[in-house]
Amino acid sequence: MSKARNTFVGQPLERVEDFRFLSGRAAFVDDVQPADLAHAAIFRSPVAHGRIVAIDATDARAAAGVQAVITAAEIGDPVPRIPVRMAAAEGQERFLQPVIAADNVRFVGEPLAVVVADSRAVAEDALEKISVEIEELPPVADRQSSEASETLLFDEHGTNVCASYAARIGDADAAFAQADYVRRESFQVHRHTALPMETRGLVAAWNEAAGQMKVWGAAKVPFFNRRHLAAMLQLPVKSIDLIELDVGGGFGVRGEFYPEDFLIPFAARLLGRPVKWIEDRQEHLLATNHSRDVACDLEIACRRDGTILALRGRISADMGAYIRTTGIVVPSRAGQFLPGPYRIPNVEVSVKALLTNKTPIGSFRGPGRFEANFFRERMIDMAARDLAIDPVGIRETNLIRHDEMPYDYGTLVPYDSATVYDSGDYHAVFHRCLEEIGWREKATLQGAFIEGRYHGLGLGCFVESAGSGKEAARITLDLNGAAVVSIGSSALGQGIETTFAQIAADALGLPMSKIRVQHGSTSLLEQGFGSFHGRSMVMGGPAILDAAEKLAVKLRKAAAVRFGCEAAEITLLDGRAIGPGGSSVDYFTLSFSSAPISADGMFESPKRTYSYGTHAAHVAVDPRTGRVEVIDYVGVEDVGRVINPMVVRGQKIGAIVQGLGGVFLDHLVYDEQGQLLTGSLADYLVPTATDFPNVRTMSMEIERSPMNPLGVKGAGEDGIIPVGAVIVNAVAAALASLRIEPNALPLSPPRLWALIEAARPS
């Protein structure tokens, strides 16, 4: 935009939002307390599968303090259904979830009624007064019974397969026929979820006189949610404002459109008073999107030297009871990223998404990528062991070379564009990771039994896409001396108030103290596109640059009028407009002398960026208990240009620890009747700060992305992607003398102990 001496971009600045959080000044949705506030509680199905015979809410409606009980009858026919936002496969619209059950229930936790009362306690007590008669049907408990289709979740459609397709590049059949070595294995990644610290919540208020609805608690994709809420309520889009507050974590599950995103605004409009609903932890585990739960039957074909000739994968996913907003993104991305960062000329993938009587599946940090990496990297280690090739050597042979970039993998998802890796030096990052973990120095530890524990080293490589579509921004010079940056991206804990301020400060030639970032709410901009798929910096950052360039044009014009010269004669430097005679004026004085100067920016790109990296771990396995200690974990990645190294490092460490939780702890377990057995944090275990203390990360700025003017790539999701494979490869290396080859997650102590016991000589 202007000549400036600022170099905030690239600096490890502390997050400006942290003071608000650490001093207790953050404002979360439960802090919203409008006058005359009512509270909602949701009556949820206690059974996994059945036909609704009757719902009797007479006693609940008569209870003191209860304002309304809302069922499908009050909402009317047809009951709105949750829309698909992305990854829409042909035919899956038949399996969308109604916002409230009307005829059938298909998972434990599905909403059947909403009680609105003067207090949360009264609303929850009234739930006990609702009587529901359900004709129970046999539950579909897993992928195998779903595919058999003996019991159907949707009788009218005649199948439990909600989506399926096949894709290929090259000729896998010919490659397998000519290969020196082939192997086939079955792998599985278990069902778990994101579990942010703050559960979901909403406050909705309807102003009848103004015809306006305000909804607090938006996150991730508020503009998308507003459009669909407006259609469901039959209101003009601009009559609804979704307001984003502080958010206690997102990780893919927060901010999607759920039944409550309709039910709570509907209740507020029905009653003409504000209504609040805050999800409790049991509800969160029952009703908020689950994820993963993908299996893969995988075949590999290689030459004797380890050159991979072909991969053939058959992927199946347990999607739960319905298709929700993210469609079949989890299994489809597992298919798309099955080849990973390797040069594999022949790939054949089939994907099948199956319905079961469980909570629906949605995106969770690195959806499909985590799973694909586990399948592929485990198979590569198995092949290396069979071929007597070092796991380092087989990867060096097959990693895509720098001179092969950009690398076009073609179309592995029918509804999507081609997968084209934009840039990268995969070998440079690979070797740096080996150096950081001390792979050569620790080689003697592979499989060593030391003081009662087996030691092992494991590694894994990955590639991850981020950012496409468009994003909007606006910069306004307000009369209080701040450049206000309004952005369509949402804040989910990724530090965008800091990183966007760094970009704006450099572009405008202003100090950081003069930048204020606003985000997410639909009242800020005409349109916005949200934060998902690692896109907030990839798309939002360039949108800010575009707004800054357009603001510069307006500043030059305003200064030219002030100094009586041509706009081309104005120089912008360090927050001042300088005329041809040396006279100058700061931006804010210039803005104050007329109407506030503002400019809108937009960045649009149909092409994604691709970050990449290698992770490695050193573990020790106690065969007596199955406990695994992560002695050292190193992640080395290239995310293009790094806007703030401190923020990126925090995201990487958080992602790795979240991945380690998914390997050892997080597990959503159902019984044969479709009842969730891990419905509290006493049963659903997550890592704490002391569980995995030795995690190190490094971001290398080797290849800036050519897909955007900042050169950035996605940085928020990729840290989790290789973790499952890296840890299990390390455990397999540790237990090589016992010939244990784990092929499924989680690798909890009881499961690993059972594998060890089964491998012991009888």
> Bridge partners of 550?
none
Residue 37: C-alpha distances to residues 76, 200, 203, 242, 244 (Å): 25, 18, 9, 18, 19
Average pLDDT over residues 180-207: 97
User: Residue 157, Cβ neighbours under 10 Å: how many?
Assistant: 14
Q: What is the mean pLDDT of residues 553-557?
A: 94
The CATH number of domain 291-467+607-759, selected from 3.40.640.10, 3.40.50.300, 3.90.1150.10, 3.30.365.10:
3.30.365.10
What is the tens place of the pLDDT at every residue in 420-461? 999 999 999 999 999 999 999 999 999 999 999 999 999 999
The Cα-based distances of 692 to 409, 613, 627, 631, 661 in angstroms read 36, 21, 13, 8, 9
* Nearest residue to 381 via CA among 368, 369, 398: 398
> What residue segments make up the domains of the chain, in order of their start?
18-27+469-605, 32-137+195-287, 291-467+607-759
For the stretch 246-276, pLDDT in tens is: 999 999 999 999 999 999 999 999 999 999 9
Residue 663: both structure tokens together: 């390997």
pLDDT digit string, tens, across residues 72-89: 999 999 999 999 999 888
| Residue 761, pLDDT above cutoff 90 | no
The answer to whether domain 18-27+469-605 and domain 291-467+607-759 are alike in fold is yes
Q: Residue 90 has what pLDDT?
A: 84
User: 640-679: per-residue pLDDT in tens?
Assistant: 999 999 999 999 999 999 999 999 999 999 999 999 999 9
CA–CA distances in Å: residue 704 to residues 333, 502, 505, 701, 709: 24, 18, 21, 7, 9
DSSP string, 388-453: T--HHHHHHHHBPPGGG-SEEEE-SSTTS--EEE----HHHHHHHHHHHHTTTTTGGGTT-EETTE
How large is the average pLDDT for residues 18-27? Answer: 94
Q: How far apart are CA 656 and CA 644, in angstroms?
A: 19
pLDDT of residue 757: 95
Dist CA 362 CA 367 (whole Å): 8
Question: Are 247 and 10 contacting, i.e. CB atoms less than 8 angstroms apart?
Answer: no
Residues 280-329 have pLDDT tens digits of 999 999 999 999 999 999 999 999 999 999 999 999 999 999 999 999 99
Report the distance separating Cα 722 and Cα 337, nearest Å: 12
Look at residues 524, 529, 453 and name the one whose alpha carbon lies nearest to residue 489: 529
Query: 18-27+469-605 sits in which CATH class?
Result: alpha beta
What's the pLDDT score for residue 6? 63
pLDDT value for 530: 94
Of the pLDDT bands very low, low, confident and very high (cuts 50, 70, 90), residue 112 is very high
Least confident range of 73-77, 479-483, 538-542: 479-483
Q: What's the CA gap between 595 and 58, in Å, rounded?
A: 59
How much of the chain, in percent, has pLDDT values that exceed 90?
A: 93
Q: Are 374 and 745 in contact (CB under 8 A)?
A: yes
Confirm or reject CATH 3.30.1020.10 for domain 32-137+195-287, answering yes or no: no
**pLDDT value of residue 595:** 75
pLDDT at residue 592 greater than cutoff 80: no
**Pairwise CA distance, residues 15 & 488, whole Å:** 20
If one counts every other C-beta atom within 10 angstroms of the C-beta of residue 224, the result is 21
What pLDDT was estimated at residue 665? Answer: 96
Cβ-contact 88, 415 below 8 angstroms? yes
Tell me the average pLDDT of the chain: 96
**Host H or E run for residue 214:** strand 212-218
What's the residue count for the chain?
762
Residue 581's pLDDT band (boundaries 50, 70, 90)?
confident
The DSSP secondary structure of 735-761, one letter per residue, reads: TGGGT----BS---HHHHHHHHHHHS-
- In whole angstroms, what is the distance from residue 403 CA to residue 703 CA? 12
The DSSP annotation for 582-599 comes to S-EEEHHHHHHTSSPPEE
How confident is residue 1, by pLDDT bands cut at 50, 70 and 90? low
pLDDT score for 273:
97
98: β partners: 81
**Does residue 5 carry a pLDDT above 80?**
no
Q: Is 307 exposed, middle or buried (0-12, 13-18, 19+ CB in 10 A)?
A: middle
pLDDT attached to residue 20:
94
Q: Does the structure show a pLDDT above 70 at 362?
A: yes
Give the model confidence (pLDDT) of 458-473 as tens digits: 999 999 999 889 999 9
**Strand, helix or coil at 203?**
strand
Predicted local distance difference test score (pLDDT) of residue 762:
66
Q: What is the mean pLDDT of residues 726-746?
A: 97
CA gap 439, 446 in Å, rounded:
10
Report residue 405 as tokens: 């970039």
